[in-house]
A and B are shown apart, each in its own frame.
Chain A
Amino acid sequence: GQNIDQPTEMTATEGAIVQINCTYQTSGFNGLFWYQQHAGEAPTFLSYNVLDGLEEKGRFSSFLSRSKGYSYLLLKELQMKDSASYLCAVRDLGDNFNKFYFGSGTKLNVKP
């Protein structure tokens, strides 16, 4: 089965740095993705890791440790518009094609 865990909710202050953790246990692994989702909208892609290490993309960075089944998303210089849910997703190797499984999402509240 697939098991992807994230904290339910986090609060941080505008201008600060926040780290959202994700742990996973899946039958196969072919990449870890982070998505941002505002309420009532479709998710938008933020980052992708397939090898261990840190991937930096502007204010957002994502880290992966495959041996630990662990990833985090780091958001720097928080802005009010960063208030959203952040979804960790694992691309799992299926029999004939990859499938994407999502964690429960972490709701981030950014306060002034």
Chain B
Amino acid sequence: GAVVSQHPSWVICKSGTSVKIECRSLDFQATTMFWYRQFPKQSLMLMATSNEGSKATYEQGVEKDKFLINHASLTLSTLTVTSAHPEDSSFYICSAPASGVNTGELFFGEGSRLTVL
């Protein structure tokens, strides 16, 4: 199957700082990547859709200026949590549908657990 790699797996930062999370498709090109957030014991909430070469599309209620998304190439999308606060602490996970896979299912990165002190 297709492989999506996410980095870092764990990050702890101070309130007010910014954190960048990288998501890479290792063996396929991803024109679209999805960023999800998951709070404990809850499901995945779609935050935004990252599109290579164009602006990301954000879901309703997600602050564009807070969660900056850049899809610089066909294999890399980044999510930057700006001026992080404790309420931003969560599990952030990226995913991409792999072209050439019949079902078009999503392949997920390992996830990044962010803790803001």
Contacts and interface: CB of A to CB of B under 8 A. Distances in A.
Contacts of B43: 85, 87, 102-105
Interface in B25-69: 32, 34, 36, 41-46, 49, 51, 57
A45 B106 contact: yes
B99 to A, nearest CB: 12
If over half of B's interface residues share one DSSP class (helix, strand or loop), that class is named, otherwise mixed; here it is strand
Interface in A97-112: 97-105, 107
Nearest to A103: B43
A42 B109 contact: yes
Contacts, number: 58
B103 A48 contact: yes
B24 to A, nearest CB: 14
B58 to A, nearest CB: 12
Interface residues of A, number: 25
A31 B42 contact: no
Interface in B71-117: 91, 93, 95, 97, 103-111, 113
A48 B42 CA distance: 22
Interface in A42-91: 42-45, 48, 85, 87, 89, 91
A97 B108 contact: no
B13 to A, nearest CB: 19
Given A42-B110, A97-B49, A97-B51, A102 B104 contact: no
A24 interface: no
A4 to B, nearest CB: 9
Contact of B105 (A41, A42, A48, A103): A48
Contacts of B97: 98
A104 B91 CA distance: 15
Contacts of A101: 46
Nearest to B6: A42
A8 to B, nearest CB: 9
7 contacts: A43-B44, A48-B103, A87-B44, A100-B106, A101-B46, A104-B42, A105-B43
A99 B111 contact: no
